[in-house]
């Protein structure tokens, strides 16, 4: 089973289509059970689409930006 940190580390490779079938399966298993990573991958995907020419590679600052946005979303939900 993948850990959240492993999934985050490999998510750019996943979105770039660089993972094997087996790796994609373990990704999917994890995403099925972990809503935090589901949100992370969704946000990262959106970010990569928004920036043309990135070819699926996110640098640390951009990943940090996504993580921050996810945390802000969580805080938003707690307020309601
Ligand atoms: Zn996770």
Domain total of the chain: 1
Q: Residue 71 sits in which domain range?
A: 4-79
Alpha carbon distance 67, 23 (integer Å): 23
Q: 67 alpha carbon to ligand 1 midpoint, in Å?
A: 13
34-48 burial code (b ≥16 CB/10 A, e <16): beebebbbebbeebb
**Cβ atoms of residues 67 and 41 within 8 Å:** no
Q: 6 alpha carbon to ligand 1 midpoint, in Å?
A: 9
Q: 9 alpha carbon to ligand 1 midpoint, in Å?
A: 11
Contacts of 1 (CB under 8 A, 6+ apart): 26, 29, 30
Q: pLDDT truncated to tens, each residue of the chain (80 aa)?
A: 789 999 999 988 888 889 999 999 999 999 999 999 999 999 888 887 787 665 555 667 777 777 777 777 776 665 55
- The predicted model scores a pTM of 0.60
């Amino acid at each position: 089973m993948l850990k959240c940190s492993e999934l985050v580390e490999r998510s750019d490779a996943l979105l770039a289509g660089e993972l094997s079938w087996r790796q994609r399966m373990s990704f999917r298993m994890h995403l099925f059970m972990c809503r935090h990573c589901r949100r992370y991958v969704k946000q990262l995907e959106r970010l990569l689409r928004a920036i043309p020419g990135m070819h699926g590679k996110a640098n640390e600052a951009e990943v940090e930006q996504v993580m921050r946005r996810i945390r802000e979303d969580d805080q938003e939900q707690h307020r309601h």
